[in-house]
Structure 1
Amino acid sequence: MRINEERLRQRMDRINAIAVTEEEGMMRLALSDADREARDLLVSWMEEAGMSVRIDDMGTVYGVMKGTDEKALPICVGSHMDTQPNGGKYDGFFGVMAGLEAILSIKESGLELDSDLILADWTNEEGARFVPPMLASGVNAGVFDPQWVYDREDTEGVRYEDELKRIGYQGEKENRLTKAKAYLEPHIEQGPVLDAKGLSCGIVTGALGITGLDITISGEANHAGTTPMSHRKDALVAAAEAISRIRKNCIDFGEPAVITNGIINAQPASKNIVPGTVYFSIDLRYHTDEGMAELEQQTKDIIQKTCDEFGVSVQIEQYWRAKPAVFNETIVGCVEEAANEKNLPAMRIISGAGHDAVFISEIIPTGMIFVPSIKGMSHCPQENTKWEDLVAGTELTADVLVKLDKETI
């Protein structure tokens, strides 16, 4: 399959010209005005291509290209267009544009597929504005309660549902994608493996599970000069020691275990007051349910023991969890076969990042395609992928959609 490279480039450049930061990063936060502008363009391109457009109650946009067999289950491809603050040009967005171009290229080639082809743009995959990530796909898969998602607030106290209505993208529950033959998500790797190995394609077999924890340590705020070291209940010192210990434990646990402390906040945040309360976040990832549960419990135990040593109390709350995903072997095989036919240097790989595909895999047979990220940079303005890899990934997406139409899954 050959794509229209110029059309793909122009459309990607058009959306990536929306809400550009001073550092040349992307700022399309979920349900923002920038997100609405990008959605409007996508919808216009879908309609221009003759696709019917529907929107579900979480704001996910679907474009449908009809197949020839009304009894055949549809095949879905897509990702998301929302970004991190000051994020990159290709995270999520590549999957939507690759899916659109792949569907158009199939149509323009004259091939007739039995299945409808559906392009999906999921809402709030990043979780940068409304926490946690992957809210729309999570509702779609039955992981999250719709009203709980509607009530999620951003840092300004603005509700998800209110913003959904404001930008005009609250659709109907009946429009959710709940049944399909396959779901395929093209994506940049967001890691350094493919680039370091000089490979053009990642055949994604699954994704690490993710556990998110909120940690609040409570000690005693006191005067920085008059409180002897022996009398202190310093929440920040306890937090620092706990973070150091759980990091070492994660390393000792072994790959692919990873731990990240992305946020830390000490109160009362004065230079001459012993911190009385400290909050920090934990993001834990591992590739099996059993290992994830064990690593989470070890992490909690280490934090509790550390806090006991320092005479402070701790509250540990799990704010979300995504189970490790194992993708459908037939779809994985189709990606592998198509990559071999195109002579693309490729390897099987597991995703360290969370994607809408993780939740969708719980209800629909799922697979992913990775293209390389230069130096593994992502979630930042330096995120980049060679144009020839983007083209190859888009053409591969089209080839796989054609293969899936004939497969029994």
Structure 2
Amino acid sequence: MDVELLEPDRERLWSHVHELAEFAEPDSAGWTRRLFSEPYRASREWVRAHMRDAGLEVFTDPAGNIVGRCPGRLGGPPLVTGSHTDTVAGGGRFDGVVGALGAVEVVRRLRETGTELDHDLLVVDFLGEEANPHSGTCLGSQAATGVLTADHLDLRDGKGARLGDALQGFGIDPGGMLRPSWAVTPLHGYVELHIEQGPTLRRRDVGIGVVTAIVGIERLLATFVGRADHAGTRRMGDRKDALVAAAKTVLAVERIGCTGPEAAVATCGTLDVEPAAENVVPGRAVLAAEFRSDDREWLSGVQRRVAGEIGRLAAENGVEALLDWTSDNDVVPTAASVQDLTANAADELGLPWLAMPSAAGHDAAHLAARCPTGMIFVPSHDGRSHCPEEWTEPDEIATGVHLLAATLLRMDQRSSVDAEFS
């Protein structure tokens, strides 16, 4: 099969990206389509219809993922591709969407060119990849791959509502999230197209990234407990100010991130203060932070370094610090075999490419435990993402979809993509 024939219909693909963007929360910035929102619910009906229109056999799995099946000639373990269509608050139009709709466009081109794969091809729109109010990310891919547990369903949001109850209210059986599905059966391989969400490709003037690894993510919820006092009468040297300890921790987290390896980052995202009045010494402060790196050694030492620094700062300010750590995922290398197939396909299409890690988390990190997995990046303008200014050129998206098709074709032609999973 001449892979040039699988070049996508660029105008159709660009139109579909913008059709999906019309589903957005009206009172939020950007193109906001969060898990459990009504626009997200409505958009999923659009996605199902879009898949059916492409000729896919569509079903919703017990984990709430929308799955479209393109039958192959021989059957056997299926190839899988896709991404997600939910967004963060104030998000953009391309994060996740490029991979999900790009995969459907690949199926359209297979049918339009009369190309049959040997393996079934599953196109997946994973449920709730972005962080949700109940903590955690990649809800659909974690459930599909058997990582989600009953404890996850008992997680509560800031108002005390259970994740399991929120799922049920959204029309998803929480018990079904714990049952085995297609992703725990043998899979031939998985490849995901995504915008980079960072500046590397644009700065290097390269149009394709072949992802070598997905960063590990450690998250911290630090609660500082001091003593609330009258801000006018309590002298500075006699205070137990929870906010001061938390503020110094913000700077400590920044220092730790700046002294890490090149791809290491550390971020404080929220800081809640009680009683939150300018005439009261803060008696309690809750800080949320996260640490990311593709360097396992650095990431494994983060908890010890951060805990030591927070302990010192808490003691200096006369407050107590309670630390709650969660691991979103470990560092996940992509399969060398899929990297090679993608790079070879890029060379065949005449596309310059760069081997690079992903600094963001993805559903691919969970599929990697089940089958040979790879990722393809296309550039993000100015490295912007998770904001309304997120932008990738239509030609860049189309190039990524073309490479996705060529990579899937090469994977399909292999009797086994990776011996480790044979």
TM-score under structure 1 length normalisation: 0.95
Partner of 2:33: 28
Say which SS state the counterpart of residue 187 (structure 2) adopts: coil
The residue correspondences of 1:71-220 to structure 2 (distance < 5 A) are 72-145=76-149, 147-155=150-158, 157-170=160-173, 173-178=179-184, 179-220=186-227
- Checking the alignment, whether the CA contact within 8 Å between 1:258 and 1:286 is kept in structure 2 is yes
Cα–Cα, structure 1 residues 155 and 317, in superposed 2: closer, same or farther, change >3 Å?
closer
Contact 1:132 1:320 in 2 (8 A): no
Q: CA deviation at 1:148?
A: 3.2
Cross-structure match for 1:284: 291
**In structure 1, what is the Cα distance between the partners aligned to 2:392 and 2:378?**
8
Superposed, 1:285-304 pairs within 5 Å as 285-304=292-311
Amino acid at match of 2:337: T
Structure 1 window deviating more from structure 2 (151-160 vs 98-107): it is 151-160
Q: Number of aligned residue pairs: give it.
A: 407
The letter of the residue matching 2:151 is W
In the alignment, is residue 41 of structure 1 matched against residue 46 of structure 2? yes
CA RMSD across the alignment: 1.8
Aligned to 1:275: 282
- Is the CA contact 1:29–1:129 (under 8 Å) kept in the aligned structure 2? no
Q: Residues 30 and 129 of structure 1 are in contact (CA less than 8 Å); yes or no, is this contact kept in structure 2?
A: no
Q: Is the contact made by 2:24 and 2:40 (CA closer than 8 Å) also made in structure 1?
A: no
Task: Name the counterpart of 1:232.
Answer: 239
Kindly provide the amino acid, as one letter, of the partner of residue 189 in structure 1: E
Amino acid at match of 2:122: I
Contact 1:246/1:303, CA 8 A, preserved across alignment: no
Distance 1:153 1:93, change over 3 A: farther
> What is the rounded CA distance, in whole Å, between the counterparts of 2:169 and 2:245 in structure 1?
44
- State the SS of the aligned residue for 2:269: coil
Q: Is 1:250 matched with 2:257?
A: yes
Q: Aligned in 2, Cα 1:152/1:61: closer, same or farther, shift over 3 Å?
A: farther
Q: In 1, distance between residues paired with 2:7 and 2:257?
A: 45
TM-score by length of 2: 0.92
| Residue 175 of structure 1, CA deviation | 3.6
The residue number in structure 1 matching 2:70 is: 65
How far the C-alpha of 1:66 sits from its partner, in A, is 0.1
Q: Identity of counterpart residues, as a percentage?
A: 32
- Comparing 312-321 with 227-236, greater Cα deviation is found at 312-321
Letter in 2 for 1:40: E
Residue 222 of structure 2 aligns to a residue whose secondary structure is strand
Contact 1:124 1:130 in 2 (8 A): no
Structure 2 residue ranges without an equivalent (≥5): 1-5, 418-422
1:15 maps to which residue? 20
CA distance in 2, matches of 1:367, 1:304: 40
Aligned-pair distance for 1:166?
4.2
**Quick check: 1:330 aligned with 2:337?**
yes
